[in-house]
Amino acid sequence: MSREAPTLRAPGRREVLQSLAGLAAVVLLIAFGLPHLLDTSWDAIGTQLARLRAGPAVAMGVLLLAGLYCYTFVLTGSLPGLRAGRALRLNAVTATVANLVPLGAAVGVGVAWSMLRTWGFSRRAISSSFLVTGIWNLLARVALPVVGASSWWPAPSTRRTPW
């Protein structure tokens, strides 16, 4: 961790109002924008969700938590001094923001930056972590489909033809 920990101050009235306005915008976008953009209604969404049985829902929740936990190793490995509990919290918060907020990936990066700065990490350490994990994530997203597609490639024939 950095010795140049940021100094924190209590949010002022303006920051609180901006946060509340942002939260209200997100709620309105999800409540009204989502059904409008998807040409559906909340009743139709509720009907589809009611069809989901408890077993598969619990299994999906467990898989989600397992995925969040597994990525804590990437975060702790790329940012020395970050402990597993904070890495899990960072991952859960930024994943939630990225999935719920419009342009959430960009907002999630800002949230991650803010959280890590308040925990005392230097700008250099955070930006290095973001760069390293971003590059490796991109390479993995490119390489995994190539590896998967190559498994479908026919193996060379070991039979010899008589001619």
Segment 48-70, tens digit of pLDDT? 989 989 999 999 999 999 999 99
Tokens of 27: 């709620």
Cβ count within 10 A of residue 52 = 10
Phi, psi of 151 (to 5 degrees): -70, -20
What pLDDT, in 10s, does the model give residues 4-52?
A: 555 556 778 888 888 889 889 888 888 888 888 888 999 998 899 899 8
Query: pLDDT value at position 55?
Result: 93
Beta strand residue intervals within 30-157, DSSP E: none
Nearest CA among 67, 120, 56 for reference residue 91? 67
Query: pLDDT value at position 2?
Result: 47
What pLDDT, in 10s, does the model give residues 103-114?
A: 888 999 999 999
Q: Kindly give the residue spans of alpha helices, DSSP state H, lying in the chain.
A: 13-28, 34-37, 42-50, 54-78, 84-100, 104-118, 123-150
Q: What pTM was computed for the model?
A: 0.67
